[in-house]
A and B are shown apart, each in its own frame.
Chain A
Amino acid sequence: MKFTLFIALRYLFSKRKQTFISVISAVSILGITIGVASLVIALALVSGFQGEIQGKVLRATSAIMASPVSSRGIEDWKELCHRLEKFSFVKRAYPQAIIQALASSEYDIKPIMLRGLDPENLPDWIGGLMEGGIVIGDKLMEELGISPGDFITVYLPSVELTPFGPRAKARRVKVTGAFSSGLYILDNTSGAFPIGRGRELFSIKPEVNYINIDVDDIYRAEEYSKILDKEFPDLIFTPWNVINRTLFESLKLEKRIIFLVIALIVVVAALNIIASLVLLVMEKIKDIGILMSMGARRNDIAKIFMAQGTFIGIIGVLLGEIIGILASWAASTFRLIRIPADIYQIGYVPFHVKPLEAAGVGIFALIISFLSTIYPARKASKIDPSEAIRYE
């Protein structure tokens, strides 16, 4: 072992005559630990939200949605789906109907987005669809105060002539069941019916007004949409991340801000490293003089204190990473932090530690620790051996 490392380790781990220095060394380790742990946890939180919300968004919609340029619906959807599925990146193309309406029970009236879905190709969170009825989100069912088997009135966004004059088109339909997707906005404001039954249930003309497209790689949805846009001038293709762009962008921005704010903890901890090293250098002036008289070079002296500060950084980073990763894991696994689902779409705070981000935090803290050794190390290397030895 090189003697500089030998000395640095001994300085770090032996009991100090001046307890003040060991206290502030401990404080600097603690500072780095807290900073790193906070950064890991905070980034895991944002990543958790991103992942969770992204997952739910993808469960609720498909990677790309195609809508007609005109508002008349898609009559030739069978042929279009067939053509779409010829693209190598398209896994599946299937029709969907979306009707914006109002659902009314005895107790309340609520907006509802009714989706006509293929009973053979249902999202896994919809148990099943019954002929001659609709299913609605469990939260919506609660708010309407009804139970499976009850009837509701659906007001459609068109007007029909009745013997009493023009009226909003209204249909009584049976609610056969409820679903729970986990995405609050779906469970609170949507319902589903078997596609192809739109005419029978709601007297609407084109049965299909959207085509859902699943692709091989959801992260290339935007790129695929552009390709499809060129091929199908009558359709508009919207990738999933564009539908929720503001949400995802704000999560990204939040991550940057959180990083900047919490990184300050690490910077403050680095100031502690500087202070503890400067004090250590002062305590060790005599040692430094002696080492120089024995032939230690100025660079060697600098290295002793750089190694020392870097050790403080390494210990702090390791502890911080362990604490941050464990805390994130525990909080996510045991759902320790509960939040209102109607605001956040999720009932608990999810944490997802991304290895690259955690590593980045560690490297950042190590670099800061290393940089904070430079000033004290330079100071140590500039000591005049002759004067240092006179010290008593």
Chain B
Amino acid sequence: MNDKIVLENIYKSYYLAGVTTEVLSGVNLKVEENETLAIVGPSGVGKTTLLHIMGTLMKPTSGKIYIDGLDISTLGDDALSSFRNKKIGFVFQFHHLLPEFTALENVMMPLLIRGNDGAEEKAAEMLKLVGLGGKEKHRPSQLSGGERQRVAVARAIVTRPSILLADEPTGNLDWKTSEGVLDLLFSLKEEFSITMVIVTHNRHVAEKCGKIYLLERGKIRCYTD
């Protein structure tokens, strides 16, 4: 198995009002291609921080990140942007859809950013795949919580990324809706052979994953072995 994501000795400190808080103190993690990995841990422990570092949205204070063997600290700002656009899809706890745009336009957006032709057809197809055919013209405010999260999932994978990073994707949904969204995530992951990292509070969610890691006091350790 190939290593998809490798984190080497990641440290991250926040500086706020003169106070330094070390959130991550030497995290080492390997995510293998096509696996599904859960990160669990109490609130405020640094799970989102870790996920954003993996997703190149944030630079660690120190440590190395390799994605597909590439040291991403060698990439400039613009190169990193197109790298994200090509390789990584994000799903957040809050749907984070753009409120002024329809479901279809939201799903089209990463393709438009890439500058692809045929964004509309691809996005429409993806909306059907997540079970929202017929709701293309709805604004986020005209969709239910579960539907919004499905649009967010469609948006995350419409570019066919090889990595999907999900930060408490069902954290704001009721149990039944959560099930639907999770099933969708897992089936899409299979269909498109995506490497998936899910941050979750939910033990039940974690158990669906191949590996579970626990983040505690700045360190991460495997829970399943």
Contact = CB atoms under 8 A, between A and B. Distances in A.
Interface of A: 3, 6-7, 10-11, 14, 17, 286-287, 289-300, 384-386, 389-390, 392
A392 B94 contact: yes
A390 B48 contact: yes
A10 B101 contact: yes
Nearest to A17: B99
Q: List 5 tightest A-B contacts by C-beta distance, closest first.
A: A295-B85, A3-B112, A386-B58, A294-B110, A386-B52
Contacts of A286: 96
B82 interface: yes
27 contacts: A3-B109, A7-B98, A10-B101, A11-B100, A289-B96, A290-B96, A291-B98, A291-B109, A291-B113, A292-B81, A293-B55, A294-B84, A295-B82, A295-B113, A295-B114, A296-B81, A297-B82, A298-B77, A298-B78, A385-B57, A385-B58, A386-B57, A386-B58, A389-B52, A389-B92, A389-B96, A390-B48
B122 interface: no
Contacts of B114: 295
Contacts of A11: 100
Given A294-B113, A296-B113, A297-B77, 5 more contacts: A6-B112, A10-B100, A290-B96, A291-B98, A293-B57
Nearest to A299: B78
B100 A294 contact: no
A12 B146 CA distance: 29
Interface in B40-86: 48, 52, 55, 57-58, 77-78, 81-86
Interface of B: 48, 52, 55, 57-58, 77-78, 81-86, 90, 92, 94, 96, 98-101, 109-110, 112-114, 155
B54 to A, nearest CB: 11
B113 A3 contact: yes
Contacts of B83: 295
Contact of A293 (B82, B84, B101): B84
A337 to B, nearest CB: 46
B57 A295 contact: no
A384 B52 CA distance: 11
Contacts, number: 64
Contacts of A390: 48
A292 B98 CA distance: 13
B85 A294 contact: yes
A292 B82 contact: no
Nearest to A298: B77
A291 B105 CA distance: 13
Nearest to A13: B100
Nearest to B82: A295
Contacts of B52: 386, 389
Nearest to B97: A290
A287 B98 contact: yes
B58 A297 contact: no
Nearest to B109: A294
A295 B77 contact: no
B86 to A, nearest CB: 7
Contacts of B109: 3, 291, 294
Contacts of A287: 98-99
B112 A300 contact: no
A215 B95 CA distance: 78
B98 A290 contact: yes
A392 B172 CA distance: 12
A389 B57 contact: yes
A383 to B, nearest CB: 12
Contacts of B99: 17, 287
Most buried by A among B48, B86, B100: B100
A297 B98 contact: no
Contacts of A298: 77-78, 81
